[in-house]
Structure 1
Amino acid sequence: MSQKRNRAARNFGLKSRCMISAGRNALREGMQSHASIGTMTDRWRVFCSYVKKTHGISDMRRIEKSHLKQYSEHLKARCNLTEKTGKMRPMSPVTAQNYISAVNRVLEIARGDKVIRIDAVGEAKMTKRTGICSQSKTVSEQVHQRVTQTVEQRIGAMMDLQRTLGLRFEESAKINAGKALAQAEKSGEVVIKDGTKGGRARTVPITSSEQVAALRAAAAIQGSHRSMIPAGQSYANFRAEAYKQIENTGSTYHGQRHHYAQQRYQAIVGAPCPVVAGVPHREQHQHLSRALGVSVEAARKIDHAARLQVSQELGHGRIVITNAYLG
């Protein structure tokens, strides 16, 4: 952690009068993973918007623990929603806790201590996270078709890539679709390396004509450019525009990855994953045993192998992360 900052200055001397930018600078100072910095900055931005709107705060030095408590109540209210109400959208407890963690981390680095922070479970009384989804977050085929017909062609093509290849938004934006198409046609797989978390490359198998069609459509839009990001435009600006396009559509970019995960599990196993089948995670092996006509032990091995495969194709470091997609 840098010792040269003037911590008495605005935003603790983090070289920006803008609280959002100052938070990003703090993360750059105290963290190593570029991908994590981007994600946590997005979460910090939401908090900055909240405290500026509700308390008129635009300087980190004015943030007190009471503000974090009120913010946690705001997030808990979103967790209790079942559908969009006004400008508030439903949020999962896991997501809410991630938002709180981002605020804690930024303030810890900026202040140089842990005085202003809140324990999401112990103090804010948020539901303890399990990492296992109980409701599917996938984008249905009907919604997907409707949304892709209303957004710009480029965005629609990226959503098809996310849906058929399991890409994150950044990966679908930074992919060289022409090169990926050539890989798919030659070797029956695609190497995803641009925009991945932690810079970890992974291989996605080509198992359907839909994947090739999605790559071909994206390559046509990309043309001679190196990615799906329009020439002359920064990734940050393109991302902001892309997210604005799907506001109020009932669709999410990440929901496309959920679709891929669930479809791949079913293709590998021959039966739907627990969240699609409506089966609690604790009963998954018994359910799969009945569905496949095998022993519970055999079902356990089949399920584990499928989760491991899907985890690798999504670029997850651990199977437990994939549980949030499969149940």
Structure 2
Amino acid sequence: MTSAARILLDREIPKKNLSFQSVSSIHQAWSKFSNFAHEKGIRRLEHITSDLAINYGKELAQKVNAHECSAGYAQRLVSAVNTVMKLVNTRWRAVKPVKDCGIPKRMAVRVQAPSGMDKDDIDKAVAELRVNGLIRAAAIVQLAWCFGLRVKEASLLDTNKALAQCNEIGRFHVSAGTKGGRARFAELRHSYQLVALRESAEVQQKNRSVLKSDSDWHAFRERELFEARAVIKKHNIKQYHDLRAAYACHRYKQITGNDAPVLTGVIVDREADRIARQQIALELGHNRISVVSAYVGGMA
């Protein structure tokens, strides 16, 4: 079953549905389920049922509760099963890790301050990226830091349209690349945000986003964004996701007047903290304020 799954996954690469990296990680996760299925006497893909996948997820839930693996890891393993089985059978009913299997929800809490808090580091990284010809990656860094966008959201954003919306109503619509299809508005609050949009629009020119017209998100991520990592690390930015966390920490300070808990280890005003988390959750495109702990620190 492991080899058969790999063949199905590899077929998705030329279709640009999956990247090489995604195929590798999904296949690795699938192999664990394949071992589980073999132990149950199942050796063919067409014999796999939702009940088998749910039982697998329930075993993973027990491991999470026993602190043998994290909730996030267990959920990714179940997700890999869904991905492969959807390729086997388009009518496959996706197994839900939390609802069907009882795997706890992920509750990541940031305990270290995000890199990229200093605007000087951002400006220097952007400048070097441009010198190296990585102008699109430079635009992504600016948009992620200035507006708290996910890398995919920043990559697919029509900055020409966003700039026009900001000039008209002071905010722009974010819909492409959002998680779970949850669209939202990003507000214009500072002059440097407008600069970032203008400079990104110059990169975009007449394309649909900052990506070249003959490129796609997966190729851009695997090439230019991957190459740009070495540059941003030189300027004290550990990873792209930290740009989003830095945005959240800055917004926390603007809303509450206090530094984010991840920076100080304390929550000065509980009510102000709650209000800030609600607002930041909306700005980042999340439904639950508990998720904000992964950006600004815990609520305890």
Same fold, TM-score > 0.5, yes or no: yes
Aligned residue runs from structure 1 range 92-241, under 5 A: 96-97=73-74, 99-106=76-83, 130-141=107-118, 143-151=121-129, 152-241=134-223
Preserved contact between residue 173 and residue 185 of structure 2 (Cα < 8 Å): yes
- Residue 284 of structure 2 corresponds to which residue in structure 1? 314
Residues 38 and 314 (structure 1), Cα distance of their counterparts in 2 relative to 1, 3 Å cut: farther
- Gaps of at least 5 residues in structure 2 are 38-59, 61-68, 90-96, 98-104
Q: Give the TM-score of the pair, scaled to structure 1.
A: 0.63
Please tell me whether the aligned partners of residues 44 and 106 of structure 1 are also in contact (alpha carbons under 8 angstroms). Answer: no
Post-superposition CA distance 1:246-280 (Å, at most 9, x none): 3444332211111111111110111111002233x
Give yes or no for contact 2:260–2:296 (8 Å, CA) kept in 1.
yes
| C-alpha distance after superposition, 1:174-209 (max 9, x if no partner) | 111111111112211121112212222111111100
Instruction: Describe the superposition over 1:211-245 as per-residue Cα deviations: whole angstroms up to 9, x where unpaired.
Output: 10000000111111121110111222112113321
Q: Contact (CA 8 Å) 2:155, 2:211: kept in 1 or not?
A: yes
The residue that corresponds to 2:243 in the other structure is: 256
Letter in 2 for 1:166: G
Question: Which residue in the other structure is 1:11 paired with?
Answer: 4
Which stretches in structure 1 are left out of the alignment for 5+ residues? Answer: 1-7, 26-36, 52-58, 67-71, 73-91, 113-118, 120-127, 289-298
Once residues 148 and 186 of structure 1 are traced to their aligned partners in structure 2, the CA distance between those partners, rounded to angstroms, is: 27
Over residues 100-119 of structure 1, what are the superposed CA-to-partner deviations in whole Å (9 max), with x where a residue is unaligned?
4444544676789xxxxxx9
Which letter maps to 1:326?
V
1:273 aligns with 2:260: yes
Per-residue CA deviations over 1:106-163 (Å, capped at 9, x if unaligned) read 4676789xxxxxx9xxxxxxxx953222122342435434432333122101210110
Work out the CA distance in 2 between the residues paired with 1:190 and 1:17: 42
Q: Which amino acid in the other structure matches residue 273 of structure 1?
A: A
Question: Is the 1:178–1:219 contact (alpha carbons within 8 Å) kept by the matching residues of 2?
Answer: yes
- Quote the residue 1:31 is aligned against: none
Count of residues in Structure 1 that have an aligned counterpart in Structure 2: 249
Letter in 1 for 2:273: D
| SS in structure 2 of the partner of residue 262 of structure 1 | helix
For the residues of structure 1 that align with 2:185 and 2:18, how far apart are their CA atoms? Answer: 23
- Matching residue's letter, 1:64: N
Q: Which has the higher contact order (CA 8 A, sep 6+)?
A: 2
Of 244-253 and 263-272, more deviation after overlay is shown by 244-253
Aligned residue number for residue 25 of structure 2: 46
- What is the identity, as a one-letter code, of the residue corresponding to 1:147? A
Identity value in percent: 26
Report if aligned partners of 2:2, 2:34 keep a CA contact under 8 Å in 1.
Answer: no
Superposition CA RMSD, Å: 4.1
The whole-number CA distance in structure 2 between the counterparts of 1:107 and 1:11 is: 10
Specify the alignment match of 1:122 in structure 2.
Answer: none
Distance 1:130 1:137 in 2: 17
Counterpart CA distance in 1 for 2:181 and 2:273 is: 28
CA–CA distance in structure 2, aligned partners of residues 20 and 98 of structure 1: 22
Q: Which residue of 1 aligns with 2:225?
A: 243
